[in-house]
């Protein structure tokens, strides 16, 4: 007799535990206001990333097409993966001195691990992280980017 009672008690007890779980799923099923899913490609216009989000490395330019990079190459030596290549050039200034300036700033996005050491160690704060995260391309050669814009010069007062 005891075993029969236990048999039915187990069945009803088991069904009860299932119903406890289904109460929660049912609650969310009938209150869709609590849904947290984002409709990603559709909400692209409204999507705002956080300020510190590391999407890609950028070199901010001002309205006169001037950047702050002196071409010192500290970011290049600090990068653990060889992502950055700073190609400097030498020019002669008005008072006859030779000066080293930035010619091309090559950034290979495909090799970057976003450790932020380049931005952190830059002495003239010439680098920053951009918010754009949609970096998919058809060919990996397109992942190599040149960060200084064509014709850009160094900002006055940055040494």
Partner 1 sequence: MTETTENYQLDQEEYIINMGPQHPSTHGVLRFEVSLKGEMVRNIRPHCGYIHRGIEKMCEKNTYQQIIHLTDRLDYLSAHSNNELVCLTVEEALEIEVPERVKYIRTIMAELNRIASHQLWWCSMGMDMGGLTCFFYGLRDREPILDIFEETCGGRLLLSYNCPGGVMYDLHPNFQKRVKDYIKYFRKKLPEYDALLSGNIIFLERTKGLGVLTLEDAISFGVTGPTGRASGFSCDIRKTQPYSAYSKVDFKEILYTEGDTFHRYKARIDEMWESMNIIEQLIDNIPEGDYAVKMKPIIKLPAGEYYKSVETARGELGLYLISDGNKSPYRFKLRSPNFINLGALASMVKDTKIADLVAISASLDLVIPDIDR
* 121 near partner 1, rule: CB under 8 A: yes
Chosen residue from 2, 44, 52, 98 binding partner 1 by CB under 8 A: 52
Contact 104, 147 (CB under 8 A): no
Question: To the nearest whole angstrom, how small is the minimum distance from the Cβ of residue 94 to partner 1?
Answer: 33
* 33 near partner 1, rule: CB under 8 A: no
* 6 near partner 1, rule: CB under 8 A: no
- Binding segment for partner 1 (CB under 8 A), chosen from 56-64, 101-109, 117-125, 146-154, is 117-125
How is 80-149 classified by DSSP, letter by letter?
SS--EEEEEEEEE-TTS-EEEEEEEEEEEGGG-----HHHHH-TT---EEES------SSGGGGEEE-SP
| Neighbouring residues of 6: CB distance < 8 A, sequence distance ≥ 6 | none
* 13 near partner 1, rule: CB under 8 A: yes
Interface positions with partner 1 (CB under 8 A): 13-14, 17-18, 20-21, 23-25, 36, 50-54, 78, 80, 113-117, 120-121, 129
């Amino acid at each position: 007799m005891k075993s029969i009672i236990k048999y039915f008690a187990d069945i009803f007890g088991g069904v009860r535990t299932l119903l406890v779980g289904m109460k929660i799923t049912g609650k969310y099923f009938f209150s869709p206001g609590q849904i947290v899913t984002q409709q990603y490609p559709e909400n692209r216009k409204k999507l705002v990333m956080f300020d510190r989000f590391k999407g890609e490395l950028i070199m901010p330019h001002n309205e006169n097409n001037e950047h702050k990079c002196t071409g010192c190459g500290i970011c290049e030596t600090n990068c653990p993966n060889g992502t950055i290549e700073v190609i400097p050039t030498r020019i002669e200034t008005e008072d006859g001195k030779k000066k080293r300036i930035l010619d091309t700033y090559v950034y290979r996005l495909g090799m970057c691990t976003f450790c932020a050491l380049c931005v952190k160690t830059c002495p003239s704060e010439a680098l920053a992280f951009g918010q754009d995260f949609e970096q998919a391309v058809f060919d990996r050669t397109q992942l190599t980017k040149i960060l200084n814009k064509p014709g850009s010069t160094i900002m006055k007062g940055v040494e």
